[in-house]
Structure 1
Amino acid sequence: MSKRIFLAGAAGAIGRRLVPLLVEAGYSVIGTTRSPEKTKNLRALGVEPVIVDVFDADALARIVVNAKPDVVIHQLTDLPASVDPTKATEFAARNARIRGQGTDNLVRAALASGARRMIAQSIAWIYAPGSEPHDEQAPLDLDALEPRRTSVNGVVALETKTLQSPPLTGIVLRYGRIYGPGTGGDAANGSITVHVDAAAHAALLAVERGEHGIFNIAEPSGELTSAKAVRTLGWSPAFRLAK
């Protein structure tokens, strides 16, 4: 079983819930943050923290190579604590840059390190209008209006790089809109949602059981099916951490 995990975005909403699962399962976790203030909390969770900006390709490569991970997990986003609709274009562009340039840098670093597996966070509300519920084979909304088109293009860049970088086994988790501890929302709001603990558990399952490809990770709805994740990973949307 793979034992060393490089977790990019360890201090993020999903990262903070994923770390205890990985540590409890016996993995050594090297986790990134851009904030020196967050390293103490990461250490308390059992993480070896590293401070790095994913856009600093050279520094990132050195750190990942030194970490010698078996698996790299990409849980990086660039989203505001609260969404201001008037700034949707701005944060869509920032997040698309993480998914494009950031993913490219992280995949290059993973390949240089000799990692065998790459698991990346994507989103599940980017399918084109059409027959529902959407499965992973459904077309993406490539003709969307802005700023949605920028978000979809960012997803395409992330998924292409993750899935088409041999010899890495690339696994993409298309998450619903997360809610729960640390997300700013205690309850599901709207459609295509997933609790942050269930989202984190999907990443652990992808480390241990995941096959190359894409998995929808969202609660049951008429819009989307996560049957593949349930069947292949043994994932359940009802999963919750004990605390």
Structure 2
Amino acid sequence: MGDKVFVAGATGAVGTALIPLLVEAGHTVYGGTRRADRAAALEASGATPVVVDVFDAQALRDAMVRIAPTVVIHQLTDLPATLDPALMAEAVVRNARVRIEGTRHLVAAAQAAGAKQMIAQSIAWAYAPGPTPHTEDDPLDLGAEGGRRISIDGVVALERSVRGVLSDTGLTGTVLRYGQLYGPRTSNAQPKGASPVHVEAAAWAALLAMRHARGGVFNIAEDNPEISSEKARRELGWHPALRLSQAAMQAVAS
């Protein structure tokens, strides 16, 4: 019998790819979205829709306590679909708020609900300049300026919330530092950026983290000179070629 899993950001690019994997693996999935018009799509994918705004701390807490999930997966972002440069200055600020305030509310709600595991999406291009490929032990770019500094501050707050507070409450916190996403429902059809990762491989990383992670941070990206994902391969059994094929679905269920 599977676990109860609450996916925050269930209608985003990674969430949409992740839900079929979770359902096929036998988990009972609750998909969080702030938009009621997306509830039908969540139901069609096999998840129970939960319409709630992550910035409404009390409503989120109430929903989480009612569901009582074992696992909470944080895939929330707030970015324009095409990453239009003209919209990114404002989007960076909104996205940082999701990472700071939204993550804090998710952590509190997960604690109140008695969840045992939390997995959160971070980014793999936040490292400070230095020798490459970067591993998870390398420092983040705290000396950044401008929009990058806003993003880094959001990432730092998210990772501290997930990894720090949780250790005192019986929760295990795992951070997945995704490379630049490409594939269905992302802004890139083909690999782009210094450390790309297919969105379906990113979804697999969340499922494998549920199974194998005991907390910590994992880079999740295809082989490249900038980022090492060796830890994820070794400890999670993750591989960048993983996709939502029928064969992959059967492997999840077995």
Q: Distance in 1 between matches of 2:229 and 2:26?
A: 27
Q: Is the 8 A contact 1:2 1:71 kept in 2?
A: no
1:43-122 equivalent positions in 2, closer than 5 A: 43-122=43-122
After TM superposition, the runs of 4+ consecutive aligned structure 1 residues lying more than 4 A away are: none
Note the C-alpha offset of 1:2.
Answer: 5.5
* Residue 242 of structure 2: aligned partner: 239
Q: Is the 8 A contact 2:142 2:152 kept in 1?
A: yes
> Any idea what SS the aligned residue of 2:14 has?
helix
Candidates 195, 198, 201, aligned match of 2:204: 201
* Residue 32 of structure 2: aligned partner: 32
Q: Distance in 2 between matches of 1:124 and 1:189?
A: 13
Note the C-alpha offset of 1:94.
Answer: 0.5
Matched, 1:174 2:173: no
One-letter code aligned to 2:219: N
One-letter code aligned to 2:213: G
How many residues matched? Answer: 243
Matched, 1:140 2:143: no
1:200-221, Cα deviation, whole Å (9 max, x unpaired):
0000001111121000000111
Q: Distance in 1 between matches of 2:88 and 2:142?
A: 18
Q: TM-score, normalised by structure 2?
A: 0.94
Unpaired segments of 5 or more residues in structure 1?
none
1:14-49, Cα deviation, whole Å (9 max, x unpaired):
000000000000000011111111111110111000
Q: Distance in 2 between matches of 1:154 and 1:232?
A: 26
One-letter code aligned to 2:193: G
RMSD: 1.1
* Residue 42 of structure 1: aligned partner: 42
* Residue 156 of structure 1: aligned partner: 156
Note the C-alpha offset of 1:190.
Answer: 2.1
> Any idea what SS the aligned residue of 2:88 has?
helix
Q: TM-score, normalised by structure 1?
A: 0.98
Deviates more, 1:1-10 or 1:174-183: 1-10
Note the C-alpha offset of 1:89.
Answer: 2.5
* Residue 211 of structure 1: aligned partner: 214
1:90-133, Cα deviation, whole Å (9 max, x unpaired):
11110000000000000000000000000000000000010000
Q: Distance in 1 between matches of 2:79 and 2:86?
A: 14
Identical-pair percentage: 55
1:57-109, Cα deviation, whole Å (9 max, x unpaired):
00000000101100000000000012232443211110000000000000000
1:218-233 equivalent positions in 2, closer than 5 A: 218-233=221-236
> Any idea what SS the aligned residue of 1:147 has?
helix
Q: Distance in 1 between matches of 2:2 and 2:37?
A: 30
Deviates more, 1:146-155 or 1:86-95: 86-95
Q: Distance in 1 between matches of 2:211 and 2:30?
A: 17
One-letter code aligned to 2:56: D
Q: Is the 8 A contact 1:2 1:70 kept in 2?
A: no
Unpaired segments of 5 or more residues in structure 2?
247-254
Q: Distance in 2 between matches of 1:132 and 1:102?
A: 32
